[in-house]
Amino acid sequence: MQGDDIMEQRSGCPINLAVEVLGDRWSLVVLRDMMFGNFRTYGELHGNSLEGIATNILANRLKRLVEEGLITASADATHKQRIIYSLTDKAIALVPIMVQLGAWGTRFLPVAPELAARAVALEHGGPQMWSDFMDELRHLHLGAPPPARSVLAELDAAFRQAEQTAGRPTSG
């Protein structure tokens, strides 16, 4: 959108333009699931949606995210009817924003502790962890060299630990 004529936009404000691209609920949820769940196909994204995204909404958001340059779609070599979606560097650059959204939600909203575990781990991990996570996403989605650290594994471990803790009866 950077090269578009500003006259066609509501304003040239960078926050407004970002909201126009990312401002609906489902786009961020799809990007979240691709980043933190490593879901790459329509079936994975629909079948693992905690929020129960409708099939037509998911199809629309995937198409829109491709058009906006946040994800790419390519045919799966092992299954002719399946499309593999990959994050672009433009989407991977949203990791710090996603971390801050998660931190804000955890701080101010009644979240489920196990679902907040990844956000808490990323917030506490700070910019180095975010950078390492972005490197891992570049490896998984863009074919960059593998990073030394698997932040996804660390986040999954934090989720599993919180899930086990949430399942234990509390005393008192």
DSSP codes joined into one string, 87-122 = E-HHHHTTHHHHHHHHHHHHHHS---HHHHHHHHHH
Rounded Cα distance, 102 and 125, in Å: 13
Q: Which is more confident, 35 or 12? A: 35
What proportion of the chain, given as a percentage, has pLDDT over 70?
Answer: 92
**What is the per-residue pLDDT for 51?**
92
pLDDT tier for residue 69 given thresholds of 50, 70 and 90? very high
pLDDT tier for residue 153 given thresholds of 50, 70 and 90? very high
Tell me the mean pLDDT in the region 29-54: 96
Tell me the mean pLDDT in the region 10-29: 90
Angle among Cα 121, 127, 131 to the nearest 5 degrees reads 95
- Summarize pLDDT for 79-101 with one digit per residue, the tens: 888 999 999 999 999 999 999 99
Tell me the mean pLDDT in the region 122-147: 98
**What is the per-residue pLDDT for 172?**
44
Contact 55, 28 (CB under 8 A): no
The pTM assigned to this predicted structure is 0.88
CA atoms within 13 A on the CB side of 55: 2
Tell me the mean pLDDT in the region 45-61: 95
Reply yes or no on whether the pLDDT at 6 is more than 80.
no
- Summarize pLDDT for 107-127 with one digit per residue, the tens: 999 999 999 999 999 999 999
**What is the per-residue pLDDT for 168?**
62
Rounded Cα distance, 137 and 171, in Å: 40
Reply yes or no on whether the pLDDT at 169 is more than 70.
no
Contact 66, 108 (CB under 8 A): no
CATH of 1-87, one of 1.10.10.10, 3.40.50.300, 1.10.1420.10, 1.10.3210.10: 1.10.10.10
Coil, helix or strand for 144? coil
Q: Where are the domains of the chain?
A: 1-87, 94-172
Place of tokens 């699931």: 33
| Helix extents (H) in 5-108 | 14-22, 25-36, 42-47, 55-67, 89-92, 95-108
